[in-house]
């Protein structure tokens, strides 16, 4: 009996999560894959016809937005590493006994809803708002200068909105470094720079990798920032997909674009993992 | 010598993959997956429109037979379409004993349609007995899919007596089989006089390089198409695909020269009052209500070339649980006094011309600021447009078929989703 229970335990443990994934990921994915190969319209219904033209047309019509999304996602990720790494480093090594306070402060703005935060940026950055109003009246920037409705605003919004997902994994990786390793580096006559470059940085890479994974993917497929902070010429692929689903009811094109984006991101992640020399992406991300 | 290794049949056999048990399983699995994929089709239910009035009448009788009053209506409407204290609904409950749950859940037609379509397709209730949808693409689809209740006009005595002639036979719903108007409005140009010195008078002002980066346009393809056509002097009613291409090129030129700040949905009002945009495509009543509620001083003009007029319509979804109560409420809004109070508040075009006299009489009784406001409403061309005003206004484009509609949408969406 006991042996049977022991044998069944792992399955029982995985069951809730597995069921969750099956219902809310596997089934919708199959439905979407099917939709992407259908043709028709909402009045006459959609039928499965192996209509792979949805992919060809979708990519032909919207390749600009796909490329733009990837570039925006990359730019936001790089900004996040530049901003997030020093923050994580400082909290991990200089935070002392108040580490958890600093982490809490970092997370505090993120208790507010994602959309609301983005809208407050819209207020802050508006043409005569808190930032630009005083600058304009002081004559420091020209009257017609604006930040909203530019790619700077969209990339900035993306970088801001996903920042904790970059800081936290890096913090965890740095926090885990055994102080004795650093002492050993000093004993072996490594200076501060050498210690950082040859000990701390390599040991923090799994954190950076996980951070990139958790920020690049949602940033690339985001549509809130582009619609709230962007203008003409800042549309991202997420906005196009939303538009195809909810405005045009062109389900095949929307699904085909979703799949294209998914494939693109998966390939990107695996290439990135290879480039970093890790064999097992998921293991590294979970470490 | 006959070396079997040279035998091409042997070579083929050892180099080609043979179908083993695993392959058979795999093949079976793949075809099962194929079947599963094919089974995910989405049902459409295009229905033929009734061809004769006798047939339409029998549809009406068939639907309304045996339907009884339940004492409650769920009403889905747009924001800013009724006084937040709902005095009209209180009066309705007092008169009829029917209670009303009023929800401002519709922000735009396309997403509302996307939200209710799956339930309607499955024959389930959408939770509302009465809803308001604009004439246009989604309205046509609701009719084509057979999602709307044919209205029993014998239950609409106020409508028959008080609705303006214009509102009794609309092109998008001949004979008002499925809908009657809630209110109409115009899409024109709104501007912020703080930043714009010379009041805009024509479409050309939206193309003026002076306002580079400060012009708002709408993202809805039907809205933006009409403005592109007006700017070229083309009558949208008479336009065809060749005209659409020209209008799209005109709009593209406006976008690519950096004049357009952004393509908006209803969210253009705040940026306009903050000064992010100086002039924009806008809906007439929005500007009035924003000025009243927030004390802003925004202006609205109908450009000389013309403007778009649209009508928001009340309709009952086929799966409604209280259609009798809903149609009673519809007719209630055609009471002259009720229509007048509603128009006084929302400042959109009322389908009841008789409301003008009631508002004028109210103005006579009122004093001070209220008097001025009511006099303005009674005289406003945005609430009671004259025939001369109306002759300049055009509806959204009506399409021959879905192929034409698709062509239209992709032509204009290429501009707004850049």
Residues of B in contact with A35 (CB under 8 A): 40, 42
User: Would A133 be classed as within a structural domain?
Assistant: yes
B170 closest CA partner among B61, B301, B315, B287? B315
User: Would A107 be classed as within a structural domain?
Assistant: yes
Tell me if chain B has a CB within 8 Å of the CB of A147. Answer: no
Interior angle at CA A124, CA A119 and CA A129, nearest 5:
125
Contact present, A40 and A204 (Cβ < 8 Å)? no
- Provide the pLDDT for residue A250: 87
User: Would A168 be classed as within a structural domain?
Assistant: yes
Residues 5-64 in A contacting B (C-alpha not used; CB under 8 Å): 30-31, 33-35, 37-38, 40-48, 61, 64
A-interface mutation test, from B31, B34, B35, B42, most A Cβ less than 10 A away: B42
User: Would A50 be classed as within a structural domain?
Assistant: no
Chain B positions touching chain A (beta carbons under 8 Å): 33, 36-46, 110-111, 113-114, 117, 141, 144-145, 212-214, 255, 260-263, 271, 274-276, 402, 406, 409, 413-414, 417-418
* Helix/strand/coil (H/E/C) assignment for every residue in chain A: CHHHHHHHHHHHHHHHHHHHHHHHHHHHHHHHHHHHCEEEECCCEEEECCCCHHHHHHHHHHHHHHHHHHHHHHHHHHHHHHHHHHHHHHHHHHCHHHHHHHHHHHHHHHHCCHHHHHHHHHHHHCCCCCCHHHHHHCCCCCCCCCCCCCHHHHHHHHHHHCHHHHHHHHHHHHHCCCHHHHHHHHHCCCCHHHHHHHHHHHHHHHHHHHHHHHHHHHHHHCCHHHHHHCCCCCCCHHHHHHHHHHCCCCHHHHHHHHHHHHHHHHHHHHHHHHHCCCCCHHHHHHC
- Provide the pLDDT for residue A148: 92
Beta bridge partners of B42: A46
Task: Indicate left, alpha or beta for B274 from its phi (over 0: left) and psi (-120 to 50: alpha).
Answer: alpha
Number of domains chain A is built from: 1
Q: How many residues does chain B have?
A: 418
Alpha-carbon A228 to chain mean position: 18
Q: Retrieve residue B292's tokens.
A: 């009243």
Choose among B39, B260, B276: nearest Cβ to A126. B276
Contact present, B358 and B337 (Cβ < 8 Å)? yes
Per DSSP, the three-state class of B132 is strand
**pLDDT < 50 positions in chain A:** 287
The residue in chain A having the minimum alpha-carbon distance to the alpha carbon of residue B403 is: A41
How far is the C-alpha of B329 from the C-alpha of B156, rounded, in Å? 10
- Provide the pLDDT for residue B1: 42
User: Would A37 be classed as within a structural domain?
Assistant: no
Record: contact A128-B262, CB cut-off 8 A: no
Record: contact A146-B276, CB cut-off 8 A: yes
Residue B148 burial (10 A CB sphere; 0-12, 13-18, 19+): buried
Record: contact B413-A42, CB cut-off 8 A: no
How far is the C-alpha of A212 from the C-alpha of A33, rounded, in Å? 27
Residues of B in contact with A65 (CB under 8 A): 417
How far is the C-alpha of B335 from the C-alpha of B303, rounded, in Å? 33
Q: Retrieve residue B352's tokens.
A: 């009841």
Q: How many residues does chain A have?
A: 287
The residue in chain A having the minimum alpha-carbon distance to the alpha carbon of residue B254 is: A232
Contact present, B175 and B166 (Cβ < 8 Å)? no
Distance (Å) from the alpha carbon of A127 to chain B's nearest alpha carbon: 5
Which regions of B78-194 does DSSP assign to beta strands (E)?
99-104, 130-134, 180-191
User: Would A103 be classed as within a structural domain?
Assistant: yes
Q: Retrieve residue A143's tokens.
A: 């009257």
Where is B111: in which H helix or E strand?
helix B109-121
CATH of the domain at A111: 1.10.3720.10
* Helix/strand/coil (H/E/C) assignment for every residue in A213-238: HHHHHHHHHCCHHHHHHCCCCCCCHH
Q: Retrieve residue A36's tokens.
A: 């992407």
B65 closest CA partner among B358, B324, B361? B324
The residue in chain A having the minimum alpha-carbon distance to the alpha carbon of residue B265 is: A227
Q: Retrieve residue A4's tokens.
A: 């049977």
Please, what are the domains in chain B?
53-184+310-384 (3.40.190.10), 186-309+394-416 (3.40.190.10)
Count Cα neighbours of A28 within 13 Å in the Cβ-side half-sphere: 8
User: Would A72 be classed as within a structural domain?
Assistant: yes
Record: contact A249-B43, CB cut-off 8 A: no
Tell me if chain B has a CB within 8 Å of the CB of A259. Answer: no
- Provide the pLDDT for residue B36: 60
Distance (Å) from the alpha carbon of B326 to chain A's nearest alpha carbon: 26
Per DSSP, the three-state class of B255 is helix
Record: contact A40-B42, CB cut-off 8 A: yes
Distance (Å) from the alpha carbon of A247 to chain B's nearest alpha carbon: 5
What would the pLDDT profile of A229-256 be if each residue is shown by its tens digit? 999 989 999 999 998 888 888 899 999 9
B-interface mutation test, from A28, A245, A247, most B Cβ less than 10 A away: A247
A276 closest CA partner among A226, A207, A221? A207
Rounded-to-10 torsion of CA B217, B295, B312, B99: 150
Where is B75: in which H helix or E strand?
strand B72-77
Would you write out chain B's pLDDT as a tens digit for each of its 418 residues?
Answer: 445 555 555 545 445 555 555 555 565 555 555 556 665 556 655 565 555 667 778 889 999 998 999 999 999 999 889 888 899 999 999 999 999 999 999 988 888 998 899 899 999 999 999 999 999 889 988 998 999 999 999 999 999 999 998 898 888 898 899 999 999 999 999 999 999 999 999 999 999 999 999 999 998 889 999 999 999 999 998 899 999 999 999 999 999 999 999 999 878 999 999 999 999 999 988 888 888 888 889 999 999 999 999 999 999 999 999 999 999 999 999 999 999 999 988 999 999 999 999 999 999 888 888 888 888 888 888 889 888 888 889 989 888 887 888 889 889 988 988 7
Query: What is chain B's alpha carbon radius of gyration, rounded to the nearest angstrom?
Result: 28
DSSP string, B353-403: TTHHHHHHHHHHH--HHHHHHHHHHHH-TTTS--HHHHHTEE-PPPPSSHH
Q: Domain range for residue A215?
A: 63-286
Record: contact A232-B144, CB cut-off 8 A: no
How far is the C-alpha of B68 from the C-alpha of B96, rounded, in Å? 14
Choose among B41, B114, B402: nearest Cβ to A47. B41
């Amino acid at each position: 009996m006991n042996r049977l229970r022991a044998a069944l335990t792992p399955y029982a443990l995985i069951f809730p999560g597995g069921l969750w994934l099956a219902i809310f990921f596997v089934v919708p994915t199959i439905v979407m894959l099917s939709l992407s190969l259908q043709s028709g319209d909402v009045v006459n219904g959609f039928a499965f016809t192996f209509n792979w033209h949805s992919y060809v047309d979708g990519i032909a019509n919207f390749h600009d937005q796909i490329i733009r999304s990837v570039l925006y996602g990359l730019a936001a990720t790089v900004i996040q590493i530049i901003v997030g790494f020093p923050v994580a480093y400082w909290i991990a090594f200089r935070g002392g006994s108040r580490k958890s306070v600093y982490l809490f402060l970092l997370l505090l703005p993120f208790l507010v809803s994602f959309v609301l935060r983005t809208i407050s940026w819209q207020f802050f950055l508006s043409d005569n708002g808190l930032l630009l109003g005083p600058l304009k009246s002081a004559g420091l920037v020209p009257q017609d200068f604006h930040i909203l409705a530019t790619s700077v605003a969209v990339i900035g919004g993306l970088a801001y909105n996903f920042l904790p997902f970059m800081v936290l994994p890096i913090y965890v990786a740095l926090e885990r470094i055994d102080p004795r390793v650093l002492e050993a580096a000093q004993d072996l006559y490594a200076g501060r720079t050498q210690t950082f470059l040859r000990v701390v940085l390599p040991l923090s890479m799994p954190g950076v990798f996980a951070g990139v994974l958790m920020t690049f993917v949602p940033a690339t497929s985001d549509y809130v920032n582009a619609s709230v902070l962007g203008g003409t010429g800042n549309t991202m692929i997420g906005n196009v997909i939303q538009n195809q689903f909810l405005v045009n009811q062109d389900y095949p094109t929307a699904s085909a674009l979703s799949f294209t984006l998914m494939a693109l991101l998966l390939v990107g992640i695996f290439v990135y993992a290879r480039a970093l020399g890790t064999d097992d992406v998921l293991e590294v991300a979970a470490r | 010598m006959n070396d079997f290794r040279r035998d091409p049949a042997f070579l083929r056999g050892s180099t080609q993959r043979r179908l083993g048990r695993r392959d058979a399983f795999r093949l079976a699995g793949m075809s099962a997956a194929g079947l599963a994929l094919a089974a995910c089709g989405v049902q459409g239910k295009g229905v033929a429109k009734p061809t004769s009035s006798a047939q339409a009448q029998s549809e009406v009788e068939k639907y309304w037979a045996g339907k009884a009053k339940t004492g409650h209506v769920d009403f889905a409407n747009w924001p800013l379409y009724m006084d937040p204290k709902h005095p009209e609904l209180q009066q309705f409950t007092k008169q009829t004993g029917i209670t009303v749950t009023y929800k401002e859940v519709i922000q735009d037609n396309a997403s509302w349609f996307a939200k209710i379509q799956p339930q309607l397709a499955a024959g389930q209730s959408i939770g509302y007995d009465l809803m308001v949808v604009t004439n246009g693409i989604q309205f046509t689809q609701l009719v084509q899919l057979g999602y709307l209740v044919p209205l029993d006009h014998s239950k609409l005595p106020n409508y028959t007596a008080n609705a303006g002639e214009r509102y009794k036979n609309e092109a998008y719903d001949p004979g008002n089989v499925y809908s009657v108007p809630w209110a109409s409005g115009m899409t024109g140009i709104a501007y912020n006089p703080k930043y714009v010195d010379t009041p805009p008078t024509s479409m050309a002002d939206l193309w003026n390089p002076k306002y580079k980066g400060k012009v708002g346009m709408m993202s809805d393809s039907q809205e933006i198409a009409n403005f592109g056509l007006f700017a070229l002097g083309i009558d949208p009613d008479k336009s065809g695909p060749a005209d659409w291409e020209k209008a799209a090129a005109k709009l593209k030129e406006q976008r690519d020269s950096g004049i357009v700040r952004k393509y908006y949905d209803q969210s253009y009002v705040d940026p306009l009052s903050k000064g992010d945009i100086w002039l924009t495509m806008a809906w007439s009543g929005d500007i009035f209500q924003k000025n009243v509620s927030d004390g802003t001083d925004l202006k609205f003009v109908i450009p000389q070339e013309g403007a778009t007029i649209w009508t928001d319509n009340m309709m009952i979804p086929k799966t409604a649980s209280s259609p009798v109560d809903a149609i009673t409420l519809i007719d209630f809004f055609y009471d002259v006094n009720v229509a007048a109070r509603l128009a006084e508040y929302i400042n959109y075009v009322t389908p009841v011309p008789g409301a003008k006299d009631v508002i004028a009489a109210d103005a006579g009784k009122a004093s001070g600021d209220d008097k001025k406001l009511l006099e303005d409403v009674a005289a406003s061309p945005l609430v009671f447009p004259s025939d001369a005003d109306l002759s300049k206004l055009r509806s959204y484009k009506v399409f021959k078929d879905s192929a034409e509609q698709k062509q239209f949408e992709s032509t204009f969406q290429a501009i707004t989703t850049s």
